[in-house]
Amino acid sequence: MNEKSILGFSILLELPMLMILLSILLSFKINRIANIVVGLIMTIVQVGSLSFGWNPLHYMFFSIIEIATLVSIIWIAFNWKESEA
């Protein structure tokens, strides 16, 4: 691995933490789109990592919980109404 790929993975790992702050700072429409997009990206990454070789049972356990949580976030953001924000 080179420094660019490590930086890319580091940014990817920081996205969920960044979304907490952005959910407070962004307007409703941009916040909704950001939650859907980041949720989709993280879901794709997590599903991809599960299907990439052998994974210990504890990793599979946490991955399934993370995927379920991400799908819930996408569903909630997709169904948000502006009056709820």
- For residue 84, what pLDDT is reported? 60
For the chain, give the percent of residues with pLDDT over 70: 98
Cα–Cα distance for residue pair 50/40, rounded to 1 Å: 15
Which of 84 and 80 is assigned the larger pLDDT?
A: 80
Domain of 38?
A: 3-84
pLDDT at 74 over 70: yes
**Total domains in the fold of the chain:** 1
> Residue 41: pLDDT above 90?
yes
Q: Is 36:70 a contact under the CB 8 Å cutoff?
A: no
pLDDT score recorded for residue 81:
87
Give the pLDDT of residue 52: 81
User: CB-based contacts of 31: which residues, under 8 Å, 6+ apart?
Assistant: 22, 23, 85
Mean pLDDT of all residues belonging to the chain = 91
